[in-house]
Amino acid sequence: MWKIFGDKEDPRRRLEKIFGEDSPSAGPPPAAREWAATVLAQAGIDAATSELAAIKCLRDAQPRLTLKAAVYLAKDATTL
């Protein structure tokens, strides 16, 4: 279904569905955080300096990620 008025889903809920793990009170599920860090490290991408490249890399690696969830993971990766 197309989202005419934008994606209102909490990105943590999407990540919980994909990675099968609950999110802590702040941040993505630990499995999602670890996966994103591994994918970005293997690709040699620093999310802090190349946010768009990080988002594309994450979405290419996991097509079920929505844009909003990928942005959320990429921003989280800058804090690791």
Supply the pTM of this predicted model. 0.86
Alpha carbon distance 53, 51 (integer Å)? 5
Per-residue pLDDT at 26: 84
Instruction: Label residue 9 by pLDDT band (50, 70, 90).
Output: confident
| DSSP element (H, E) containing 29 | none
What average pLDDT does the structure give for the chain?
Answer: 91
Alpha carbon distance 30, 20 (integer Å)? 10
**Three-point CA angle 37, 51, 40, nearest 5°:** 25
Using one digit for the tens of pLDDT, what is the confidence trace for 36-71? 999 999 999 999 999 999 999 999 999 999 999 999
Secondary structure of residue 41 in the 3-state scheme: helix
pLDDT surpassing 70 at residue 32: yes
Alpha carbon distance 3, 24 (integer Å)? 27
